[in-house]
C-alpha cells in the first residue's frame, strides 16, 4: 500500500542541523505538553466532520478508535524518525498506516496545521494559566491568613528604606494581597482571551467544507471563537498577554522577597525563614542563607526575559501565519507559565513558614522616629499652628535628639516648647500625656481610621472583603478546571464504538 505524505513539494528530508535545532526540540515540547490535547482536538474534529456529513460515520468511528488506541499507547507509538516535521505529521502517518490512506487521510479534511497548531497552543496556555491562577489563589489565601494573624503586630513602615510611620505587619501583607488580587484579575482576563477557539480557520481563510466551528469550540471547552480566520492564525497576543501578566506578578513578588530578605538579617531580626527554605555555607558555620527568596527574585528575572522573548519573536514580522511571529513565542510563554506556577507554590510555603519577632518590630517602631508625623499632627490639632510650622518644630527636635543619641519615645514636651519659642516665639503647652500618646506607635495606628488606614476596625472590614472576593474567585478557577475536565472526558468517552 502506498504511503501518503505531506512533503511532496520537497524532495529531500530535513537536514540534520534543521532537525537538531528546530524539529527535534519542538517535537519534544509537543509530546510533553500537547499530545493529549492534540488527540482531543482530533477526536472532536472527526466527530464534527461526521455530524456535518463531510465524512462517513464508519470512517469517523474508525478514526476515533485509532486515536483512542494511540492515546493509550502514548507518543512512543509514533515511531519518530525525524523524517517528518511535527507531531501532527507523525499522527497522520500513524493513522494512514493503521487505517489506510483512504480512511486515515480523511482526518485533516477542512483543516490546516495552522489552525490545528494554534489551537493546541491556546489549549496548552489555557491549562497552564488555570494552574497559575490556582497557585496564585493559594498564595493569596496564605497572605490574607498571615495578614489577619499579624493585624496588630506593630512594626515600622518604610519609605526610601527609612523609617516613615508605624504600621502593622498585617497591614503590609494586606497591601501585598491587594496587589495579588490585581494580578489575579490580569491573569483571569488573559485566560478569558486565550479561551477562544481558532479551529476551523484553516490556513487563513476557512474552507468550503461546511464546518461547525461552534460545535468544536464547545467540545474543546472554549468559551467562544476567534471568529475571523485570518486573525485566528496570525495573532498571538494571547501568549504575550499571559506572559506579561506573569512577569508583572513575579515583579511584585520579587519586591516582597527583597523585604523579607532584609527583615531576616541580623541587623533587622524582624523575621526568620523556615529551615526548609534556607541553604547553608560550606565554610561559615553560622550561615542560614535565604535561598528560597533569592530563587524567587531570580525567577522573576527569568520570566521578564521570557516576556521579552515573546514580544521580540513577533516584532517586525508579517501579520500572517509565520513561524517566528506565531510559533516561536510559544516556548518562552510556556516557560513563563510553568516557572510562575512553581514559584507561587514556593512563595506560599515561605510566607506560611516565617517566624515573626513582634517585640523586635515594636521596639524599632517606638524608637525609630516614625511617630514624628503624628506628633506634628497633634501640634496642629492642639495648638492651631499650621502644619508647616508644626513640621518645622518637630524636625528641629528630632534632629537634636538624633544628634544626642536619644530615641523617639524619649522626646519631651519641654523640647517642643523650646523649639517653638526659637522658631516662632511661642510655647506649645502640650501635656506630657499628649506627647506620649503621639509618640506611641500603637496609638498612631489606632488613630488611622481614614478609609484604607491600618486601624484595627479598618483591618477587620478590609480582610472580610478580601476573603469574600478570594472565595468567589477560587470558585471560578475551580469551575473552569472542572468544565475543561468534563469536556475532555466527553471527547475521550464512548470507548465502545
Last residue of a domain, one of 357, 391, 425: 357
Q: Are 190 and 246 in contact (CB under 8 A)?
A: no
| Residue 83: all three cell numbers together | 523524517
For residue 7, pLDDT over 80 is answered with: no
Three-state SS at 88: helix
**Per-residue pLDDT tens digits for 21-64:** 999 999 999 999 999 999 999 999 999 999 999 999 999 999 99
Residue 52 placed within a domain = yes
Three-state SS at 156: strand
**Per-residue pLDDT tens digits for 320-350:** 999 999 999 999 999 999 999 999 999 999 9
Please compute the mean of the pLDDT values over residues 215-241 and round it to a whole number: 98
For residue 10, pLDDT over 90 is answered with: no
Distance of CA 464 to the CA centre of its chain: 23
For residue 383, pLDDT over 60 is answered with: yes
**Per-residue pLDDT tens digits for 62-78:** 999 999 999 999 999 99
Q: Are 497 and 61 in contact (CB under 8 A)?
A: yes
Number of other CB atoms surrounding residue 243 within 10 Å: 29
- Give the burial string for 135-172 (b: 16+ CB within 10 Å, else e): bbbbbbbbbbbbbbebbbbbbbbbeeeebbbbbbbbbb
Please compute the mean of the pLDDT values over residues 153-167 and round it to a whole number: 98
Residue 463 placed within a domain = no
DSSP assignment, residue 165?
E
Please compute the mean of the pLDDT values over residues 134-154 and round it to a whole number: 98
Instruction: Give dist(CA 154, CA 306) in Å, integer.
Output: 39
Give yes or no: residues 47 and 192 share one domain.
no
For residue 404, pLDDT over 70 is answered with: yes
Nearest CA-CA partner of 384 in 420, 348, 345: 420
The mean pLDDT value of the chain amounts to 96
pLDDT at site 27: 94
Give yes or no: residues 303 and 287 share one domain.
yes
Number of H helices, E strands in the chain: 20, 6
**Per-residue pLDDT tens digits for 249-278:** 999 999 999 999 999 999 999 999 999 999
Instruction: Give dist(CA 299, CA 247) in Å, integer.
Output: 10
Q: How many residues does the chain have?
A: 497
CA dihedral (340, 341, 342, 347) positive or negative = positive
Three-state SS at 55: coil
For residue 287, pLDDT over 70 is answered with: yes
For residue 496, pLDDT over 60 is answered with: no
Give yes or no: residues 150 and 229 share one domain.
yes
Interior angle at CA 441, CA 437 and CA 445, nearest 5 = 95
Residue 497 placed within a domain = no
Give yes or no: residues 190 and 323 share one domain.
yes
Give yes or no: residues 75 and 215 share one domain.
no
Last residue of a domain, one of 407, 424, 439: 439
Range of the domain at 78: 16-109
Q: Which residues contact 229 (CB under 8 A, 6 or more apart)?
A: 115, 200, 201, 202, 204, 205, 206
Nearest CA-CA partner of 443 in 387, 341, 373: 373
Task: Look up the CATH number of the domain holding residue 100.
Answer: 1.10.275.10
Give yes or no: residues 296 and 387 share one domain.
no
Give yes or no: residues 301 and 327 share one domain.
yes
Report the catalytic residues.
Answer: 160, 281
Task: Tell me whether strands 271-272 and 355-356 are parallel, antiparallel or unpaired.
Answer: antiparallel
Using a pLDDT cut of 90, give the percent of the chain over it. 95
For the chain, the straight-line distance linking the first and the last C-alpha, in angstroms and rounded, comes to: 26
Indicate the burial class of 24 (C-beta count within 10 angstroms; 0-12, 13-18, 19 or more). Answer: middle
Residue tagged 523579607 (cell numbers): 260
For residue 495, pLDDT over 60 is answered with: no
Band the pLDDT of 294: cuts 50, 70, 90. Answer: very high
Percentage helix, strand, coil for the chain under 3-state DSSP, each rounded to 5: 70, 5, 30
Please compute the mean of the pLDDT values over residues 306-322 and round it to a whole number: 97
pLDDT at site 44: 98
Give yes or no: residues 120 and 267 share one domain.
yes
Give yes or no: residues 121 and 98 share one domain.
no
**Per-residue pLDDT tens digits for 406-462:** 999 999 999 999 999 999 999 999 999 999 999 999 999 999 999 999 999 999 999
Last residue of a domain, one of 393, 416, 439: 439
Residue 47 placed within a domain = yes
pLDDT at site 497: 66
| Residue 439: all three cell numbers together | 509618640
The number of distinct structural domains making up the chain is 3
Band the pLDDT of 289: cuts 50, 70, 90. Answer: very high
Q: Are 199 and 233 in contact (CB under 8 A)?
A: no
pLDDT at site 254: 98
Give yes or no: residues 406 and 284 share one domain.
no
pLDDT at site 83: 87
Residue 1 placed within a domain = no
Task: Look up the CATH number of the domain holding residue 248.
Answer: 1.20.200.10
For residue 369, pLDDT over 60 is answered with: yes
For residue 91, pLDDT over 70 is answered with: yes
- Give bridge partners of residue 238 from the DSSP assignment: none
Please compute the mean of the pLDDT values over residues 465-481 and round it to a whole number: 98
Give yes or no: residues 425 and 299 share one domain.
no
Residue 35 placed within a domain = yes
Give yes or no: residues 102 and 174 share one domain.
no
Instruction: Give dist(CA 39, CA 491) in Å, integer.
Output: 9
Nearest CA-CA partner of 406 in 359, 368, 357, 447: 368
Residue 301 placed within a domain = yes
For residue 2, pLDDT over 80 is answered with: no
Q: Which residues contact 324 (CB under 8 A, 6 or more apart)?
A: 313, 314, 317
Residue 433 placed within a domain = yes
Amino acid at each position: 500500500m502506498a504511503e501518503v505524505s505531506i512533503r511532496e513539494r520537497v524532495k529531500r528530508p530535513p537536514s540534520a542541523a534543521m532537525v537538531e535545532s528546530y524539529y527535534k526540540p519542538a517535537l519534544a515540547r509537543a509530546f510533553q505538553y500537547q499530545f493529549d490535547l492534540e488527540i482531543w482536538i482530533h477526536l472532536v474534529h472527526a466527530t464534527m466532520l461526521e455530524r456535518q456529513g463531510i465524512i462517513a460515520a464508519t470512517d469517523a468511528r474508525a478514526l476515533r478508535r485509532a486515536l483512542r488506541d494511540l492515546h493509550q499507547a502514548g507518543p512512543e507509538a509514533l515511531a519518530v524518525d525525524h523524517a517528518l516535521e511535527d507531531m501532527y505529521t507523525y499522527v497522520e502517518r500513524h493513522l494512514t498506516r493503521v487505517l489506510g490512506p483512504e480512511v486515515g487521510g480523511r482526518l485533516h479534511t477542512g483543516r490546516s496545521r495552522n489552525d490545528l497548531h494554534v489551537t493546541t497552543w491556546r489549549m496548552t496556555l489555557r491549562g497552564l494559566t488555570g494552574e497559575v491562577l490556582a497557585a496564585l489563589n493559594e498564595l493569596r489565601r496564605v497572605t490574607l491568613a498571615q495578614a489577619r494573624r499579624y493585624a496588630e503586630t506593630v512594626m515600622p513602615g518604610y519609605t526610601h528604606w527609612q523609617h516613615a510611620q508605624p504600621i502593622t505587619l498585617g497591614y503590609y501583607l494586606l497591601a501585598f494581597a491587594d496587589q495579588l488580587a490585581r494580578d489575579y484579575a490580569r491573569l483571569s482576563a488573559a485566560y478569558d482571551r486565550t479561551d477562544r477557539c481558532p479551529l476551523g480557520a484553516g490556513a487563513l481563510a476557512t474552507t468550503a467544507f461546511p464546518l461547525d466551528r461552534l460545535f468544536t469550540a464547545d467540545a474543546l471547552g472554549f468559551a467562544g471563537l476567534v471568529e475571523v480566520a485570518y486573525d485566528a492564525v496570525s495573532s498571538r497576543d494571547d501568549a504575550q498577554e499571559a506572559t506579561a501578566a506573569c512577569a508583572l506578578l513575579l515583579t511584585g513578588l520579587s519586591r516582597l522577597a527583597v523585604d523579607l530578605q532584609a527583615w531576616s538579617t541580623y541587623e533587622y531580626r524582624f523575621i526568620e525563614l523556615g529551615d526548609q527554605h534556607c541553604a547553608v555555607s560550606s565554610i561559615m558555620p553560622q550561615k542560614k542563607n535565604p535561598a528560597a527568596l533569592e530563587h524567587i527574585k531570580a525567577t522573576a528575572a527569568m520570566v521578564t526575559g521570557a516576556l521579552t522573548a515573546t514580544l521580540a519573536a513577533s516584532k517586525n514580522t508579517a501579520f500572517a501565519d509565520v513561524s517566528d511571529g506565531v510559533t516561536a513565542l510559544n516556548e518562552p510563554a510556556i516557560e513563563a507559565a510553568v516557572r510562575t506556577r512553581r514559584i507561587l507554590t514556593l512563595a506560599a510555603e515561605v510566607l506560611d513558614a516565617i517566624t515573626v519577632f513582634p517585640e523586635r518590630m515594636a521596639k524599632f517602631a517606638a524608637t525609630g522616629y516614625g511617630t514624628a508625623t503624628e506628633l506634628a499632627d497633634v501640634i496642629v490639632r492642639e495648638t492651631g499652628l499650621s502644619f508647616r510650622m508644626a513640621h518645622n518644630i518637630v524636625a528641629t527636635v528630632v534632629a537634636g535628639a538624633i544628634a544626642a543619641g536619644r530615641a523617639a519615645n524619649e522626646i519631651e514636651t519641654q523640647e517642643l516648647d523650646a523649639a517653638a519659642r526659637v522658631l516662632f516665639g511661642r510655647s506649645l503647652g502640650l501635656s506630657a500625656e499628649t506627647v506620649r500618646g503621639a509618640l506611641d506607635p500603637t496609638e498612631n495606628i489606632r488613630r488611622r481610621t481614614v478609609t484604607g488606614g491600618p486601624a484595627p476596625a479598618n483591618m477587620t472590614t478590609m480582610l472580610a472583603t478580601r476573603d469574600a472576593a478570594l472565595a468567589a474567585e477560587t470558585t471560578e478557577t475551580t469551575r473552569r478546571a472542572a468544565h475543561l475536565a468534563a469536556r475532555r472526558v466527553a471527547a475521550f468517552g464512548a470507548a465502545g464504538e
